[in-house]
Structure 1
């Protein structure tokens, strides 16, 4: 499966790539941050199974840009993901060629489930249960690490504050990444933000 992702915000773009690989591990996902870059991807690859686009990205003209992509890729499934009010914009996007509209304001689990329903419905039950189990495995120590990560602490600073070795910090992060299905501090932090895990460290 070939998927193009257009979103001007690097964190959101990275989160979408992470979710797509969780849903469909073999998917080939290519990102763009401007409408011009998305069109360049179409010029290069000529086709895609799915296009996920934020129509407020740089160079986009809302529903008109959706219509343009729908015309260029008539056989692709187009998913709009936006933080605009869906009550006001949903129909305009659908009328201009989008197949689905997703709100960025939804929690990550809802976005994941919606993408699963659209892209890989046969994996829905399996992946949803895995996500629930993963969340249950988050320990108090992991939550401390996540909150310190959210405050911008380095590994050495975390080790000093928790009175543990820097190697132990790295081991904790390695285990945390495996639980969340991510591969970087940025992805772990974005996952935590989306799930409302960032709290006052004194209460962690």
Structure 2
């Protein structure tokens, strides 16, 4: 299946370079380009895309705000956030807004293309352990969402347990060993967690765990 990609960057030369790279792949095509977040939202209302390669720092509407706005739409594409700045603040903002991946613009071409493929497949590029490190650092900016807590309470005890272990950064294999279950059973449980909570991948499951109060910031955890 061909991966439909939308490129969003305020620098036309950067978009042109990315477009040449993407179009050279047998399994990808560029279905649209935009110069800022506002243009991107308008474009994505008219074209179907699987992955949006989104610059975070743009005029008019930045990539974080545009990514957040996309979350309110049905059948939304996944967002691969790009930035020239290697800062935890950028990564945190992108992930909290709903991005499934975070890369620097100067990453090797193969890394960018690989990230597009991973995100299109439904996975995330940022490891859950990295997500938890970011959330631990910036947890003070997160406010426990009562609606998230209500959705969490609708999970079964086993599903809550699996989500908690995912939030710790454990892989399906590690969770299976911890709970004495088969890996396929863990995958089934976690698949139901994602479906019930309306989440896209493991990274956003970790974010939800903080928002629901399942995981507490380090300062709030018992010694």
The 5 A counterparts of 1:86-97 are 86-97=87-98
Query: Following the alignment from structure 1 to structure 2, what is the Cα–Cα distance between the partners of residues 44 and 114?
Result: 24
Q: Report the secondary structure of 1:71's partner residue.
A: coil
How large is the RMSD of aligned CA atoms in angstroms?
2.6
Give TM-score, length-normalised by structure 1. 0.50
Please say if residues 49 and 77 of structure 1, whose CA atoms lie closer than 8 Å, have aligned partners that are also in contact.
yes
Please say if residues 56 and 62 of structure 1, whose CA atoms lie closer than 8 Å, have aligned partners that are also in contact.
yes
Unmatched 5+ residue regions in structure 2? 122-223
Whichever structure has more helix as a proportion of its residues is 1
Unmatched 5+ residue regions in structure 1? 121-204
Q: CA offset at residue 95 of structure 1?
A: 1.4
The 5 A counterparts of 1:125-164 are none
Query: Following the alignment from structure 2 to structure 1, what is the Cα–Cα distance between the partners of residues 10 and 79?
Result: 17
The corresponding residue for 2:108 is 107
Please say if residues 48 and 73 of structure 1, whose CA atoms lie closer than 8 Å, have aligned partners that are also in contact.
no
Structure with the larger RCO, 1 or 2 (CA within 8 Å, 6+ apart): 1
The structure having more radius of gyration, on CA atoms, is: 1
The corresponding residue for 2:15 is 13
Q: Report the secondary structure of 1:18's partner residue.
A: helix
Q: Report the secondary structure of 2:46's partner residue.
A: helix
Q: Report the secondary structure of 2:72's partner residue.
A: helix
Q: How many residues end up aligned between the 2 structures? A: 120
Q: CA offset at residue 29 of structure 1?
A: 2.6
Give TM-score, length-normalised by structure 2. 0.46
Indicate how the Cα distance of structure 1 residues 115 and 23 shifts in structure 2: closer, same or farther if over 3 A, else same: farther
Find out whether 1:41 has 2:48 as its counterpart. Answer: no
Q: CA offset at residue 101 of structure 1?
A: 0.7
Query: Following the alignment from structure 2 to structure 1, what is the Cα–Cα distance between the partners of residues 75 and 29?
Result: 20
Q: 1:3 aligns with which of 2, 5, 13?
A: 5
Query: Following the alignment from structure 2 to structure 1, what is the Cα–Cα distance between the partners of residues 25 and 88?
Result: 27
The corresponding residue for 1:159 is none
